[in-house]
Amino acid sequence: MNHIFPRHTKARPPIAAKGDGAYIIDTSGKRYLDGSGGAAVSCLGHSDPDVINAIKGQADQIAFAHTGFFTSEPAERLADRLVAHAPKGIDRVYLVSGGSEAVEAALKLARQYFLERGEPQRTRFIARRQSYHGNTLGALSTGGNAWRREPFAPLMIDTSHISPCYDYRGREDGETPEAYGQRVADELEGELQRLGPETVIAFVAEPVVGATAGAVPAVPGYFKRIREICDRHGILLILDEVMCGMGRTGTLFACEQDDVTPDIVTIAKGLGAGYQPVGAMLCSSAIYAAIEAGSGFFQHGHTYIGHPMACAAADVVVQKLTDGGMTDRAARMGDVLNTALHDAFGQHPNVGDIRGRGMFRGLELVADRDTKEPFGPGLGLHKALKAAAFEAGLICYPMGGTIDGRRGDHVLLAPPFIVTEDQIGELMDKLSTAMNAVLP
C-alpha cells in the first residue's frame, strides 16, 4: 500500500473507512465531524440511503453507455429536474464529471457561441482576483488566485482580472455597500473599454466566493450592475456555482439571492453530494439556439459525460434538495450556524469577519481586529489550524494567501445540511479548541 500519488508526498493521511451521517470514521476508529463537507461537497452527509440505493439500482440496469451513441434515463431525468428549478431562461444541461470540467465546457461553449454568430475576434475572458474556477488550464486561467496560477502562467488563455466584491476589505470608510458594489462592478466597464468590448467573450465570477476567500457574497446590487454591463456590451455572464450552488447558500442556485440570471451557470460538488463525481453546465435557450442554428454540434466532450450512475445519484440528490426540503433545511440550519459562530467568535480578538450565506460560512483571521492586519505567511496559520482541528476530530477548510496571494487566513465551514443543533455546538467547541491551540 504505497503506490498512490498523494496530495502531499511528505505526509500520508489516515484512511477513511466509513461514513456515518455528518461523520467520517477512519480505520483506527477515530470519528471526524465533517464541518466543511470535504470542500463543500457532502451536503447530505456520508450515508444517505436514498442516494446509495439509486446508485445500486442503476448499476443493476446499466452502468455506462457512451453519449456518442446513447442518452440514458437518469441523465434525461436529471436534466429535466435541474431545468425545472433553474433560473428562468436557463433550459439546457450539459452533464460532466466535476467542477473544472463544467467550467471548461462553459468557456468553450461561450467561445463557440460567438463563432456561430460570426464573431471570431472574441478571444478573451474577464474574471476576478481572489477567485477559483478549477485546476484544468482554462479554468485555472480564469481563476484569480496568484499562488495557484503562477507555475502555469505561460500556458494560460487570455484572461484579465478585476477586483472582487469583498466588502470587509474593499469597502472604504463611509462608503455604502451599494456604492461600493457599483464602484467595483464598474471596473468591468473600465476593463472592457481598455480591451475593446468586441474582443471579450464573457465575464466569469462565483456568486459567493468559496475556496479563495471563505464564503464572501457580493453586496446587494453588484451582480445586477454586472449583468447590465455585460448586456450593454453583448458579452456573456458565466456564474460559477460549483461550490456555492445546489442549496449550499439556502437557495438551490446562489444567484437567485442576487436576483440575476446568468447566460451560463456551472455546478458540481453538491450535485453529486460526494456519492458520484458529477457536474453540469447549464445554459440559456439563446446559446443553445445559436449552436442548433449553426453547426448543430458542440465541439467538446469527454468519455464519461452524462454517466448513468452519476446521473442516477445526482437526480436523487436534486430531488432531496428541492421537493425533499433539504435546501430549506440548509437555509434554516444556516441561521443556526451563523448565530453559533457569532456567539462563539463574535468577540474573538483574532476573528475580523464572520460572513456567508446558508450553510456556507467563513471566518477571516486577523492579527488585529481594529486595523484588520492579517497574520503573516511565516506563521503558516491555516495549515496549523487544519491540523489542530483534525486532531480534535473536526474537518474544516482553512486557507491562506487570500488577501494579496501571500498573506491572510480564513476558515471555510460548509457542513452537511443534515447536521443537528448539537453537532453545530460540537463544531464550535472543536473549532475553539483548534484556534486556542494555534493562535499566537
Amino acid occupying residue 101: E
Is residue 274 at the binding interface for ligand PMP, with CB under 6 A as the rule?
no
Binding mask 362-381 for ligand PMP (x = CB under 6 A): --------------------
How many angstroms separate the CA atoms of 284 and 136, rounded?
A: 24
Spatial strand order in the sheet of 16-20: 16-20, 23-26, 31-34, 394-395
Residue 206 DSSP symbol: -
Give the cell for residue 340: 453559533
Is residue 351 at the binding interface for ligand PMP, with CB under 6 A as the rule?
no
Nearer to ligand PMP, 98 or 416 (CB): 98
What's the burial of 47, exposed, middle or buried (CB within 10 Å: 0-12/13-18/19+)? middle
> Minimum distance from CB of 136 to ligand PMP (Å)?
7
Q: Name residue, grid cell 476530530.
A: 393
Q: For the segment 15-54, give every residue that binds ligand PMP (CB under 6 A).
A: 39
Is residue 99 at the binding interface for ligand PMP, with CB under 6 A as the rule?
yes
Among 78, 243, 273, 394, binds ligand PMP (CB under 6 A): 243
User: Residue 173 half-sphere exposure, CB side, CA atoms within 13 Å?
Assistant: 2
Among 19, 37, 134, 181, binds ligand PMP (CB under 6 A): 134
Whether 177 and 167 have beta carbons less than 8 Å apart is answered as yes
Give the cell for residue 231: 448586456
Among 82, 127, 211, 424, binds ligand PMP (CB under 6 A): 211
Strand bridging mode 90-96 / 279-284? antiparallel
Stretch that binds ligand PMP, among 185-193, 239-247, 377-385, 389-397 (CB under 6 A): 239-247
**Positive or negative: CA dihedral 35, 96, 331, 77:** negative
Stretch that binds ligand PMP, among 23-31, 205-213, 326-334, 401-409 (CB under 6 A): 205-213
Is residue 210 at the binding interface for ligand PMP, with CB under 6 A as the rule?
yes
Is residue 103 at the binding interface for ligand PMP, with CB under 6 A as the rule?
yes
Is residue 104 at the binding interface for ligand PMP, with CB under 6 A as the rule?
no
Among 133, 248, 307, 430, binds ligand PMP (CB under 6 A): 133
Stretch that binds ligand PMP, among 2-10, 187-195, 203-211, 334-342 (CB under 6 A): 203-211
CA–chain centroid gap for 415, Å, is 14
3-state DSSP assignment of residue 92: strand
Instruction: Name the site residues for ligand PMP (rule: CB under 6 A).
Output: 39, 98-100, 103, 132-134, 206, 210-211, 240, 242-243, 268
